[in-house]
Structure 1
Amino acid sequence: MQIINLLDHGPLPYMQVDTLQRYIHEKVASLQAPDSIIVWESDHTYTAGRRTQPQDIPNDDVPVITMDRGGSVTYHGPGQLVIYPIVKVKPPKDVVAFVRTTENTLISAIQPLGVAATAVSGRSGVWIPAQQMPTGIESKICAIGIKFANDATMHGMAFNVTTNLDRFMRIIPCGITDAGVTSLAQLGIHTTLTDTADLLVPALSDAYQQFLARPDTVVTAHPQPAQLLMEARNHHPAIPQRTGVSWKADTGAKPHNKEASWQSQIG
């Protein structure tokens, strides 16, 4: 398993890493690259899924971009640990089992921090029970959204470490109206994204072995993750229609020049 750790680069433009994940996904799906996990931190971004309505868009200075996923609007930003497992899976594909394994692995991995998280029936992600929350409201600490394409996974999870939770107050995260959002910091646990990644990533790598077409328990760090970012930018991986474009609250998402949309995020 190859770990592509971008945390040292600080918060990155969302579409820059989306371009990277699609580049890596193409290679993993075609067996030209090892199974990989991308670890990174996003700059301030709202992403809008296919069920997003104009009234869901916050009146904010944070950019809103469309993505090829279900659901409504969610927030990504500094202090949030984002993990993308990009692995080639063996048949039969079982998306539900993969997501449930991800949830259970994260729940177990954060127990040493003193966090008694749980899964919630009918809802993906990792949750903190209401009785443990200062707000008294069941709250999500980690959002999970994993897609299978060409027998390989993409997208992943967003774990709130020191995330500014005020950003979530301006939206209805993932369209869920009767629950909250929390972070390790809100729970009184003061740690870093790197230390949190050191807990989560090895556990996920081990847990995913059962699904892999090419099991490999040896975890290696990619020596030049910044070089991969440049390779992905130059490769121009295929971007699905209506993905990575700016949302226009008055008219909905208007596709425009695809190349300009993601390259403008890279600079």
Structure 2
Amino acid sequence: MTAPREPFFPAHKSIRADTQQLEIRHLGRMDYQEAWDYQADLAKKRAAGETGDAILVVEHPNVYTAGKRTLPEDRPTNGLPVIDVDRGGRITWHGEGQLVVYPIIKLAEPVDVVDYVRRLEEAIIHTVRQLGVTTAGRIDGRSGVWVPGATIPLDPAAPDRDRKIAALGIRITRGVTMHGLALNCNNTLEYYSHIVACGIDDADVTTLSLELGRDVSLAEAAAPLLEALADALEGRLTVTNHTFASAPDPTKLANEKRRKARGFHNNA
């Protein structure tokens, strides 16, 4: 999605408040709630100046998480539990084979949320293209990183629809970022069939492995992604217009449905 205005900081400038090197913490496989608590504690310390910027790298056991804009009809139909979280967006899935990255970063003032999101997307696009998915880009109106509709090599019968390969969901409190991004590497897509992922029902999801026709491990994707993230946040990798389509914003659609529901209730 293209920014509605020029960013607060020039593209070649860092949006981090700190100049110290980012600390990378590889957490391995960790329960989602445990990781969320860990994030919150670290973010509180970062806001107080008790620790520096860090990027958490993790893989979660299978779990659904629902952002603040999740609607009842988005929720799973397979009986698995859902954790309601304080990030933006709607519902998504995390699980084995998906690379999850949580930047705990103090942003420079004035805080530019749009630019931060665009820089995260830029890092993912750079990484995914470097790995071989050369058509990956943005859809105006929707966050995350997408692959334009085309037949998937391993499944000629697959629908010709745009496919999300990485999702974003963030929270910024006292200038410190939480939550982050999830890049599908070699995970199953089965769990997505039981939800309206990110509130989007007119597109599909995909993985690096599916797009490239070979197994792509978390380790293979993590190294270039972490390098690209540091470069994007610090201005060495500049945000470029990789938009190839436009579509309705699922967050705005959720807000409109809520307004209509309240109106119906008030008139009842």
Shorter-chain-normalised TM-score: which range? 0.7 to 0.9
In structure 2, give the amino acid aligned to 1:163. N
In the alignment, what sits opposite 2:260? none
The answer as to 2:75 corresponding to 1:84 is no
Aligned counterpart in structure 1 of residue 221 of structure 2, from 193, 196, 202? 196
CA contact (8 A) 2:89 2:169 kept: no
The more displaced of 96-105 and 63-72 is 63-72
Identity %: 41
In the alignment, what sits opposite 2:255? none
In the alignment, what sits opposite 2:203? 179
Q: Pairwise mapping of residues 71-220 of structure 1 onto structure 2 (< 5 A)?
A: 71-116=89-134, 117-131=136-150, 133=152, 134-187=158-211, 188-210=213-235
Name the CA distance, whole Å, in 2 between partners of 1:153 and 1:24: 10
In structure 2, give the amino acid aligned to 1:27. K
Name the CA distance, whole Å, in 2 between partners of 1:100 and 1:189: 28
CA contact (8 A) 2:163 2:206 kept: yes
Name the CA distance, whole Å, in 2 between partners of 1:191 and 1:146: 25
The more displaced of 148-157 and 51-60 is 51-60
The more displaced of 56-65 and 36-45 is 56-65
> 1:210/1:151 Cα in 2 relative to 1: closer, same or farther (>3 Å)?
farther
Deviation at 1:54, TM superposition (A): 3.4
Name the CA distance, whole Å, in 2 between partners of 1:57 and 1:198: 33
In structure 2, give the amino acid aligned to 1:89. L
Name the CA distance, whole Å, in 2 between partners of 1:81 and 1:31: 28
Deviation at 1:132, TM superposition (A): 5.4
CA contact (8 A) 2:122 2:232 kept: no
In structure 1, give the amino acid aligned to 2:228. A
Deviation at 1:61, TM superposition (A): 4.4
In the alignment, what sits opposite 1:218? none
In structure 1, give the amino acid aligned to 2:160. G
CA contact (8 A) 1:47 1:66 kept: yes
> 1:131/1:156 Cα in 2 relative to 1: closer, same or farther (>3 Å)?
same
Name the CA distance, whole Å, in 1 between partners of 2:71 and 2:231: 39
Name the CA distance, whole Å, in 2 between partners of 1:132 and 1:39: 31
SS at match of 2:51: coil
CA contact (8 A) 1:113 1:189 kept: no
The answer as to 2:59 corresponding to 1:59 is no
Q: How many positions carry a matched residue from both structures?
A: 208
Give me the CA root mean square deviation: 1.6
Could you list the runs of 5+ residues in structure 2 that have no partner in the other structure? 1-21, 153-157, 237-268
Deviation at 1:63, TM superposition (A): 2.0
TM-score (normalised: structure 2): 0.74
In the alignment, what sits opposite 2:25? 4
